[in-house]
């Protein structure tokens, strides 16, 4: 497409330049004829000759012409210029002479041989010539606009297709998990019937509930989630405690709440938990099992800011722009979908923002979530 567009524009510019030169040469011939008619009018009284000069003069309705003396001072002869400006602005003709001199050489007309006196006639471009000269630019703008619209349409279509694939995969995963989970529920109930297996049944029940939560999360992808008024502080604390129990004792977790124990806002709890879980797991991976994770929550009148900060290895500048792209990962294992899904959940479902606030190699990274009220 780009090669075709360049070929079209190049061909148009070449042909437009050819037409411009042709029209410019034709206009100079017309100005020469016009000037010769003035010379004829000044030296003859023949009625036929005068009529011919009048016809020639009246035929030129497009090319602007100004007559000057040999010192380029306007002598009052002009054609196809704004007569009102000529009357109201004493510098109008002088400015036009300067403008015309930059475009075309003047045509000299000898008035007297002894002493030698001559007038200069300067002329500008007709409207037709100007349109021909600007046509390639207009066409280039139109082609550029066409390419922009085409690429934008393709990008939107690809994103829409990608979203549909993601939603379809997520819903299919939730559907596939549903059958074995129901079966496992039944087996756990059977185990509970035997007092010797109560402890095993209880632990299995926890894992099944966890799988149900994962299935519920996948099932909500692609659907419009229901937002509920939820205590954000309690939701985050529960998820931090969940991750804390499954991490190294050398990792220190802390929550800074600015003295507020309850911040109520609209969220979808299962999906929001998924975001916090992804951010905390990424922080753990970045620290290799040792360091500190801080969740700083700021409750402001129009928004809630949640900063998840770790003391890990940090993200390089070239990778910061890619961390939210599907498939991007620096880990040996994983699909690189966690942060991409998290951004989608916050920005599309909660109408908020998720981005890398700061990162420094060897010192850590801070992700920021913004929830607008």
The pLDDT tens digits of the residues spanning 136-166 come to 777 778 878 888 888 888 887 877 776 666 6
Which has the higher per-residue pLDDT, 303 or 337?
A: 303
User: Does residue 306 sit in the same domain as residue 196?
Assistant: no
User: Does residue 135 sit in the same domain as residue 202?
Assistant: yes
Among residues 90, 124, 158, which one ends one of the domains? 124
**pLDDT tier at 319 (50, 70, 90 boundaries)?**
confident
Domain assignment present for residue 214? The answer is no
Residue 226 has pLDDT above 90, yes or no: no
Span of 75-79, 175-179, 191-195, 274-278 with lowest mean pLDDT: 175-179
User: Does residue 57 sit in the same domain as residue 171?
Assistant: no
Domain assignment present for residue 282? The answer is yes
User: Does residue 256 sit in the same domain as residue 299?
Assistant: yes
Domain assignment present for residue 265? The answer is yes
| Confidence (pTM) | 0.54
Domain assignment present for residue 115? The answer is yes
Domain assignment present for residue 213? The answer is no
CATH code of the domain in which 316 resides? 3.30.565.10
User: Does residue 108 sit in the same domain as residue 192?
Assistant: no
Decide if 361 contacts 314 (C-beta within 8 A). Answer: yes
Number of independent structural domains in the chain: 3
Domain assignment present for residue 302? The answer is yes
Contacts 24+ apart (CB under 8 A), 333-338: 338/278, 338/281, 338/282
Phi-psi region of 294 (alpha: psi -120 to 50; beta: other; left: phi over 0): beta
**pLDDT tier at 312 (50, 70, 90 boundaries)?**
very high
User: Does residue 139 sit in the same domain as residue 198?
Assistant: yes
User: Does residue 23 sit in the same domain as residue 92?
Assistant: yes
The sheet carrying 116-123 orders its strands as: 74-79, 65-68, 116-123, 107-113
In whole angstroms, how large is the CA radius of gyration of the chain?
Answer: 40
| Residue range(s) defining the domain that contains residue 168 | 131-207
User: Does residue 285 sit in the same domain as residue 316?
Assistant: yes
User: Does residue 158 sit in the same domain as residue 179?
Assistant: yes
Q: Which of 367, 349, 84, 365 is nearest to 226 (CA)?
A: 349
The pLDDT tens digits of the residues spanning 81-126 come to 888 888 888 888 888 988 888 888 888 877 777 777 788 889 888 8
User: Does residue 277 sit in the same domain as residue 306?
Assistant: yes
The pLDDT, as a whole number, for residue 166 is 63
Residue 222 has pLDDT above 70, yes or no: no
Residue 234 has pLDDT above 80, yes or no: yes
Which residues neighbour 136 within 8 Å (Cβ) at sequence distance 6 or greater? 9, 12, 13, 16
**pLDDT tier at 317 (50, 70, 90 boundaries)?**
confident
Residue 206 has pLDDT above 90, yes or no: no
**pLDDT tier at 283 (50, 70, 90 boundaries)?**
very high
DSSP state of 225: P
Domain assignment present for residue 218? The answer is no
User: Does residue 175 sit in the same domain as residue 196?
Assistant: yes
The pLDDT tens digits of the residues spanning 163-174 come to 666 666 666 666
User: Does residue 165 sit in the same domain as residue 75?
Assistant: no
Measure Cα distances from 272 to 28, 56, 244 in Å. Answer: 76, 83, 18
Among residues 156, 179, 207, which one ends one of the domains? 207
The pLDDT, as a whole number, for residue 364 is 94
């Amino acid at each position: 497409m780009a090669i075709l567009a360049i070929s079209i524009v190049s061909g148009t510019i070449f042909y437009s330049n050819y037409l411009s030169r042709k029209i410019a040469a034709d206009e100079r011939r017309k100005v020469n004829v016009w000037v010769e008619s003035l010379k004829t009018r000044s030296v003859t009284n023949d009625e036929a000759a005068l009529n011919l000069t009048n016809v020639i003069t009246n035929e030129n309705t497009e090319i602007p012409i100004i007559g000057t003396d040999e010192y380029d001072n306007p002598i009052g002869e002009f054609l196809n210029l704004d007569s009102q400006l000529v009357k109201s602005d004493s510098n109008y003709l002088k400015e036009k002479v300067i403008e015309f001199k930059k475009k075309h050489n003047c045509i000299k007309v000898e008035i007297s041989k002894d002493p030698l006196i001559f007038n200069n006639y300067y002329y500008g471009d007709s409207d037709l010539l100007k349109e021909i000269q600007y046509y390639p630019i207009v066409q280039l703008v139109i082609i550029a606009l066409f390419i922009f619209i085409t690429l934008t349409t393709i990008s939107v279509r690809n994103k829409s297709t990608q979203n549909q694939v993601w939603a379809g995969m997520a819903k299919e995963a939730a559907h596939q998990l549903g059958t074995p989970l129901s079966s496992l529920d039944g087996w756990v109930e059977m185990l509970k019937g035997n007092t010797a297996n109560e402890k095993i049944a209880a632990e299995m029940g926890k894992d099944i509930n966890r799988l149900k939560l994962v299935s519920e999360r996948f099932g909500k992808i692609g659907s419009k989630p229901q937002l509920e008024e939820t205590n954000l502080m309690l939701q985050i604390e529960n998820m931090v405690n969940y991750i804390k129990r499954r991490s190294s004792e050398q990792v220190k977790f802390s929550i800074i709440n600015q003295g507020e124990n309850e911040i109520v806002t609209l969220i979808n709890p299962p999906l929001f938990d998924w975001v916090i879980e992804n951010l905390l797991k990424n922080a753990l991976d970045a620290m290799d099992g040792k360091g500190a994770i801080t969740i700083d929550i700021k409750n402001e009148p129009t928004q809630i800011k949640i900063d998840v900060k770790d003391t890990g290895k940090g993200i390089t500048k070239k990778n910061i722009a890619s961390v939210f792209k599907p498939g991007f990962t620096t880990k040996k294992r994983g699909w690189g979908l966690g942060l991409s899904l998290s951004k989608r959940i916050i920005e599309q479902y909660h109408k908020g923002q998720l981005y890398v606030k700061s990162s420094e190699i060897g010192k850590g990274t801070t992700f920021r979530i913004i929830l607008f009220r």
